[in-house]
């Protein structure tokens, strides 16, 4: 059975006391005098009045204690809640101040980062240009079978170059010549490239010009190809233009590479120059997604070199070709 509340206990005690006192009082009155009905009613009224007064006083005291206890409990909880709200407000204010400080720093850092990225891109282009300039006297020979040169690679390459420019009566000076990389007999990558460093730049240009005028270079039973030696970054960027160059070759349009990077070609009596694949594709009305060349696995060819930077990219423009020149 649940315990009684204080108010219920007080009322119960009053009634118990009344029940105990009432018979004694009635008995006393009965013994001492004969009570009339009116006297009995008066006694009961008096008893009722006293009972109400005691009950009122006891209930007031009990209710006052209960209200005081409830008030103290509420005040304690409100105080704790107020402290939690004040603490949360302080943390929120601190967070807002930090956020504002970070926003101010970001407003300063973002422009600096953009400028730094532009400087990095520019330095990459300059570094690529310097590397290409260091290779300007080099010729890369491809598809030349291994060990076909015998024991004297320099003499073999010198005779190859002399066959391309027989009108040259001066000896072709070669500073260095060697195969690129280590021999790998386990793969089917074909022969390694031959890298040749010529002493004279003009001689190198004459050799490449003579090789460019032929469909293929045949020498001593070998068929090879000669190219200007370029940095890996430039080769990768040119590889991105492979769909463009294939389209130009298919349509019989001559083109040339620009310095430091770009492509130039003539179309409909107008010469275009651009360093962006998308721009060249737009000029040639070429869909890169459907017309991209496929490799042996059927995947679209992609460049695996460093990304092309935005610094130095020139939007396409056209100009009328000069007379007497391509």
Q: Supply the pLDDT for residue 321.
A: 44
Bridge-partner residues for 228, per DSSP? Answer: 139
Token code pair at residue 60: 């007031």
Q: Which residues of 130-154 are buried (b: 16+ CB within 10 A; e: fewer)?
A: eebeebebbbbbeebeeeebeeebe
CA distance 107 to 205: 52
pLDDT per residue as tens digits for the range 249-293: 899 898 988 877 889 999 988 999 998 999 999 999 888 876 554
pLDDT per residue as tens digits for the range 304-320: 333 333 334 444 444 44
**CB-based contacts of 244, cutoff 8 Å, min separation 6:** 263, 277, 280, 281, 284, 286
Q: Supply the pLDDT for residue 49.
A: 76
CA distance 303 to 268: 30
Q: Are 206 and 111 in contact (CB under 8 A)?
A: no
CA distance 236 to 277: 13
Query: CA–CA distance from 179 to each of 139, 174, 194 (Å)?
Result: 12, 14, 4
Q: Supply the pLDDT for residue 309.
A: 38
Q: What is the mean pLDDT of residues 158-172?
A: 92
Q: What is the mean pLDDT of residues 49-64?
A: 71
The alpha carbon of 27 is separated from its chain's Cα centroid by a whole number of angstroms, namely 101
Residue whose tokens read 């407000």:
89
> Whole-number mean pLDDT of the chain?
79
Q: pLDDT band at 155, cuts 50/70/90?
A: very high
Q: Supply the pLDDT for residue 301.
A: 34
Residue whose tokens read 């007379």:
323
Q: Supply the pLDDT for residue 318.
A: 42
CA distance 144 to 192: 8
Q: Supply the pLDDT for residue 150.
A: 87
pLDDT per residue as tens digits for the range 24-47: 665 665 554 555 667 677 767 777
Q: Supply the pLDDT for residue 7.
A: 53
Confidence check: pLDDT of 96 > 50: yes
Residue by residue, what is the 3-state secondary structure of the chain? CCCCCHHHHHHHHHHHHHHHHHHHHHHHHHHHCCCCHHHHHHHHHHHHHHHHHHHHHHHHHHHHHHHHHHHHHHHHHHHHHHHHHHHHHHHHHHHHHHHHHHHHHHHHHHHHHHHHHHHHHHHHHHHHHHHHHHCCCEEEEECCCCCCCCCCHHHHHHHHHHHHCCCCCCCCCEEEEEECCCCCCCCCCCCCCEEEEECCHHHHHHHHHHHHCCCCEEECCEEEEEEECCCHHHHHHHHHCHHHHHHHHHCCCCEEECCCCCEEEEECCEEEEECCHHHHHHHHCCCHHHHCCECCCCCECCCCCCCCCCCCCCCCEEECCCCCCC
Confidence check: pLDDT of 1 > 60: no
pLDDT per residue as tens digits for the range 187-204: 677 889 999 999 999 999
């Amino acid at each position: 059975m649940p315990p009684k509340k204080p108010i219920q206990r007080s009322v119960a005690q009053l009634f118990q006391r009344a029940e105990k006192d009432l018979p004694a009082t009635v008995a006393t009155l009965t013994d001492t005098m004969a009570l009339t009905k009116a006297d009995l009613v008066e006694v009961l009224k008096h008893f009722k009045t006293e009972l109400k007064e005691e009950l009122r006083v006891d209930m007031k005291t009990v209710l006052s204690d209960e209200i005081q206890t409830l008030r103290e409990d509420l005040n304690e909880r409100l105080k704790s809640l107020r402290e939690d709200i004040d603490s949360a407000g302080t943390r929120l204010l601190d967070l807002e101040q930090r956020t504002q400080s970070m926003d101010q720093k970001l407003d300063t850092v973002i422009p600096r980062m953009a400028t730094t990225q532009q400087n990095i891109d520019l330095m990459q282009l300059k570094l690529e240009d310097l590397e290409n300039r260091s290779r300007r006297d080099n010729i890369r020979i491809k598809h030349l079978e291994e060990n076909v040169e015998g024991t004297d690679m320099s003499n073999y390459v010198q005779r190859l170059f002399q066959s391309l420019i027989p009108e040259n009566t001066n000896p072709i000076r070669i500073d260095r010549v060697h195969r690129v990389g280590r021999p790998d007999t386990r793969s089917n990558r074909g022969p390694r490239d031959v890298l040749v460093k010529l002493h004279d730049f003009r001689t190198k240009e004459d050799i490449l010009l003579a090789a460019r005028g032929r469909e293929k270079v045949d020498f001593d039973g070998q068929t090879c190809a000669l190219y200007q030696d370029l940095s890996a970054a430039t080769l990768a960027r040119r590889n991105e233009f492979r769909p463009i160059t294939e389209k130009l070759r298919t349509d019989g349009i001559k083109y040339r590479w620009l310095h430091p990077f770009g492509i130039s070609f003539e179309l409909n009596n107008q010469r275009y120059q651009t360093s962006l694949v998308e721009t060249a594709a737009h000029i040639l009305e070429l869909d890169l997604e459907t017309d991209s060349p496929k490799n042996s696995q059927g995947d679209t060819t992609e460049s695996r070199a460093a990304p092309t930077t935005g610094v130095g990219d020139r939007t396409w423009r056209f100009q009328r070709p000069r007379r007497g020149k391509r």
